[in-house]
Amino acid sequence: MATGPDGAGSGRAAGPVTTATPATGAPGGETPRRRQRLVAGARRHWLFGLLFTVGGGLRLLLLYAYRPAFEFSGDSYAYLTLARMHQPDPMRPAGYPTLLGLLAHTDRLAVVPLVQHLAGLGIGVALYALLLRRRIHPAVAALAAAPVLLDAYQLDIEHFVMAETLFLALLVGALVALLWSPRPAPLACAAAGGLLAAAGLTRTLGVALGVLALGYLAIRRLGWLRLAAFALLFAAPLAAYASWYHSYHGQYALSGGDDAWLYGRVAPIADCAQLSLSPEQRILCSPHPPRDRPGPNYYVWADTSPRFQLTGTEDHRNELLGDFARQVIRHQPLDYARMVLAEVGHYFVPGRHTGYRDWPDGAWRFPDADTPHYFHISEPLLDFQEGHPARVVHEPAAGLLRGYQGFAYTPGPLLAVLVVLALTAVGLGLPRPRRPWPRQLWPRRPAAVDPPAETATDPPADAAAGAPADGRADAAVSMDARGTPPDPAPAGQAAGARSRGRWPRRAGRLARPAIQEPVLAERRRLGADCALLVALGLAVLVVPSATVCFDYRYMLPVLVLFPPAAALATRQFRLSDHGRAARR
User: What integer best gives the mean pLDDT of the chain?
Assistant: 84
| Distance between CA atoms of residues 505 and 187, nearest Å | 48
CA distance 344 to 543: 9
Task: Convert the pLDDT of each residue in 534-562 to its tens digit.
Answer: 999 999 999 999 999 999 999 999 999 99
End-to-end CA gap in the chain: 60
| Residues 258-310: tens digit of each pLDDT | 899 999 999 999 999 999 999 999 999 988 888 889 999 999 988 899 999 99
Nearest Cα to Cα of residue 99 among 163, 192, 156: 163
Q: What is the pLDDT of residues 475-507, one digit of tens each?
A: 433 444 334 344 444 444 444 444 444 444 444
Give the pLDDT confidence of 56-68 residue by residue, as tens digits.
999 999 999 999 9
Region of poorest pLDDT, from 441-450, 488-497, 528-537: 488-497
| pLDDT at residue 584 in the model | 62
Give the closest residue to 321 by CA, choosing from 253, 390, 256, 386. 256
State the DSSP H helix or E strand holding residue 357, giving kind and residue range, or none if neither.
none
Q: What angle do CA 527, 175, 181 make, to 5 degrees?
A: 65
pLDDT above 60 (res 423): yes
Per DSSP, the three-state class of 89 is coil
Query: What is the 3 state secondary structure string of 151-166?
Result: CHHHHHHHCECCCHHH
pTM for the model: 0.81
pLDDT at residue 445, as a whole number: 53
The pLDDT value given to residue 27: 53
Query: d(Cα 1, Cα 8) in Å, to the nearest integer?
Result: 10
CB environment 528-560: b (16+ within 10 A), e (fewer): bbbbbbbbbbbbbbebbbbbbbbbbbbbbbbbb
The burial class, CB within 10 Å (0-12 / 13-18 / 19+), for 425 is buried
The answer to whether residues 309 and 283 touch, using CB atoms and an 8 Å cutoff, is yes
Residues 195-206 pLDDT 10s = 999 999 999 999
Greatest CA separation for the chain: 116
